[in-house]
Amino acid sequence: MSASHVPVLLDRVVALLAPALDHEGAVLVDCTLGLGGHSEAVLERCPRARVVGIDRDTAALELAGRRLTPYGERFTGVHAVYDEVLDVLHDLELAHADAVLFDLGVSSMQLDVRERGFAYSVDAPLDMRMDGTTGPTAADVLNTYSAGELTRVLRDYGEEKFARKIAGAVVRERETEPFATSGRLVELLYAEIPAPARRTGGHPAKRTFQALRMEVNDELAVLRRAMPAAIDAIGVGGRVVVESYHSLEDRLVKQAFTAVTRSTVPVDLPFVPEGQEPPLRLVTRGAEKADESEIAANPRAASVRLRAVERVHPGTNRSSTSRKEPRR
């Protein structure tokens, strides 16, 4: 694999997962299978474990499936969205998972395939759907959202300072011709973002493309449902490990983990009564980051935030225990 295809913090992620997978028949649910880099490492280094790989991208499932063929029945690929983790386990007749992994954001494969429209460096159709079989595209968002809705998307998901200015220009320009390709959008961004701002913070299209991708794929809403579902999925000794690359993603993960690891016993009580212990404990101290050497070798690692929790009691979670309704 090229450097762009090497999973971020791979060794650390496997080290965090391994204690939960060190028994016969252990199950890892890799909720963001992608090209299968994490799954391959786990299958290689945790020989008693099996992996259930979830991805909404059918192309990723096909590629990862071919890559992981040597592991035979130890790997199962499932076409689903990762907030459906409980449904996936139920359908496979698995009572629980021993570990659940999320490597959030866009995959290297999606960026590399021009026709997917995720990359601003090449002119391509404005698609950006992780599941290319369903849902609105980035072009649909640009051509149908009001100026206010576009401003919200660019500001909240892209942290774009010029969100209102860009949104106004999009609405104005689409009256002449609807947006269809990334090249035209990039040209608009160069025209609307002032030159001093274009010289700092990376490519001027980076924030807008990130925001559109997150809106098209409903990423924050899916993550908000997925965190409690993943926590519910693990048994005692099980772990949930999450790599996030956006401040809003990391905030949701932190909030979900805090809710199930924080004690509700009054601070002045000298002991924790039996049955009142938090059901999970934090494994990482805050959010772990990549070091300078990894960032130099793999620039995607610069924004990673890694968190992990472990279930220590079988008690009721403070998360939603209901499964999603099956997709129709």
Dist CA 112 CA 59 (whole Å): 12
Q: Is 286 left (phi over 0), alpha (psi -120 to 50) or beta?
A: left
103 marked as part of a ligand binding site: yes
82 marked as part of a ligand binding site: yes
36 marked as part of a ligand binding site: yes
158 marked as part of a ligand binding site: no
Indicate if the alpha-carbon torsion angle 56, 302, 115, 248 is positive or negative: positive
110 marked as part of a ligand binding site: yes
Helices 163-174 and 147-158 cross at an angle (nearest 10°) of 140
Question: Distance between terminal CA atoms of the chain?
Answer: 37
Dist CA 284 CA 306 (whole Å): 8
Among 54, 143, 157, 149, CA closest to 97 = 54
Dist CA 137 CA 51 (whole Å): 31
57 marked as part of a ligand binding site: no
Q: Residue ranges for the binding site? A: 36-38, 55, 82, 103, 110
Q: Residue ranges for the binding site for S-adenosyl-L-methionine? A: 36-38, 55, 82, 103, 110
